[in-house]
Amino acid sequence: MQDSIKDKVIRIGTRGSKLALWQAEHAAEKLQAAGLKTELVIISTKGDQVLDRSLDKIGSKGVFTEELEVSLREGNIDIAVHSAKDVQSTIPDDLELVAFMEREKVNDVILSFDPNFKLDRDSNVVIGTSSTRRKALLKKHYPNVTTAESRGNLQTRLRKLEEKQFDALMLAYAGVYRMGYDNMIVHTFPEDEFVPAAGQGSVAIECAKNLQPELKAAIKDALNHADTYVCLLAERAFLRTMEGGCSIPSFALATLTEEGGVSINGGIVSLDGETLLQKTMSGTAAEAESLGVQLANDTLSNGGEEILTSIKRERSEI
């Protein structure tokens, strides 16, 4: 390791929730294993502060990342650690995503205190979720289910579940597993039917483009998972072309094929669940980004544009 960075303390910016801290500490452990020194810097974001409104009503662009990005620009932190699915589709020109950490299982799951809870097409239950995508896909596949807004960290949502504000919670497996609540999982959705949000299950590492090159390279070497990186290039290219954030019910999941190529399954669903556009495209790993763009353009030209226009119109009327 170069002398110029071996004594450098890498300041890791993170939100303060237990899950965010787990992610930041996980990154810190890997950096320390590579011989680098670390320090956590906790930063509160708009998404943490405003909990009485759904994401689409507070403006989802950068709602969980903006304050961290300000700290990167001001040099108060060296890297920011995010849930990859929370990162806006377009990164500011002076910042970059330098690494994507190894992905956890990507599925959406249902949590309940009742181990006998069953979900089927005729289920008439209330499920808590703050995700526009999950709400729309539930309407598509489980038309009798009612959804209730469920903002806040995992522990807050579990408290609301315990208070019987809803019958069950719908969440990403990764966060549930990392927080040790996987014993409460009563249903796992197949990822080809409930395709996850772009980036779900991975941790993204962001830095300023002008970060010392040797330090940037050391961080990438310690934290980046090559296979995950390729898949997320495809998914984020899809998201960027769709111009969708976490308040748009689009979805994308890229996987590596046995031959070393990339396959991406993605699309969009209308808010009422009536129209579902979904398609899979495959190519070489070198074509990952162009595949994401191609799939998004195909989706937009085959009804996706109309769905997005309808969503924007509906929200402007609220």
The number of beta carbons lying within 10 Å of the beta carbon of residue 247 is: 20
- Around 67, how many Cα atoms within 13 Å sit in the side-chain half-sphere? 15
Confidence (pLDDT) at 49: 47
- Do 145 and 73 meet the contact criterion of CB atoms below 8 Å apart? no
As a whole number of angstroms, the longest Cα–Cα distance in the chain is 64
- Say whether pLDDT at 60 is over 60: no
- Residue 86 annotated in active site: yes
Catalytic: which of 78, 86, 108, 167?
A: 86
> Closest Cα to residue 85, out of 237, 241, 246, 194?
246
CA distances from 157 to 171, 189, 191 (A): 10, 20, 23
**Contact criterion met (CB below 8 Å) for 106 and 231:** no
The pLDDT mean for the chain works out to 91
**pLDDT at residue 25 greater than cutoff 60:** yes
Q: Could you report the per-residue pLDDT of 93-142, keeping only the tens digit for each?
A: 999 999 999 999 999 999 999 999 999 888 899 999 999 999 999 999 99
Instruction: Estimate to the nearest angstrom the gap between the alpha carbon of 159 and the chain centroid.
Output: 23
Between residues 56 and 306, the one the model is more confident about: 306
DSSP class per residue in 235-291 = HHHHHHHHT--TTS-EEEEEEE-TTS-EEEEEEEE-TTSS-EEEEEEEE-GGGHHHH
Report helix, strand or coil for 147: strand
Please state whether the predicted TM-score (pTM) of the whole model is above 0.95. no
pLDDT 10s digits, 238-295: 999 998 666 789 999 999 999 999 999 999 999 999 999 999 999 999 999 999 999 9
- Residue 96 φ then ψ, to 5°: -155, 155
Per-residue pLDDT tens for 144-182? Answer: 999 999 978 898 999 999 999 999 999 999 999 999 999
**Rounded to an integer, what distance in angstroms lies between the CA atom of residue 192 and that of residue 278?**
10
Is residue 90 pLDDT above 50, yes or no?
yes
